[in-house]
Amino acid sequence: MIFGIMLVEGEEEDKAVVPEEDGAVIMGPPFIDFVYDHANPSCPLPIDPVSVTGPVGGEWMVTTDPPVWMDFPSTSGTIPGTIDMNFPCRLDRYENQEQSETFTVEVKMPDGSTQEYEFEVNGKFINLDYLGLLW
């Protein structure tokens, strides 16, 4: 039986690295893929977080509004930290589909400078029982 999430994460060298005067901000993974099985719901479904590391005292804020199928328990935090996400079991249409969204995160460094970063979340919403993949 499959339910929950399957993740495909980038390697360490795939993380976004932008040098800053006071150090480097590292955010990753840059791409997160998950699968949600309608036949075996788990709500809300946690999605692996994005980690934000860099100079202590920095702050991050997600500036992209989430679509209906994505929820952020918190849209801001301090460095080091994590951007937690989940699928709240809401969709525009309850049918097999794929959704994708790119999120922008603004990072404010301790010196007051700001930098923007992005990460992408891809969701596949399917009924594995209907597809005959479960037995």
12-126 architecture in CATH? Sandwich (2.60)
Encode pLDDT of 60-100 as tens digits: 999 999 999 999 999 999 999 999 999 998 988 888 999 99
Encode pLDDT of 4-24 as tens digits: 333 334 444 444 444 444 478
What is this structure's pTM?
Answer: 0.77
Task: Judge whether 116 and 24 are in contact, CB under 8 Å.
Answer: no
Domain boundaries, the chain: 12-126
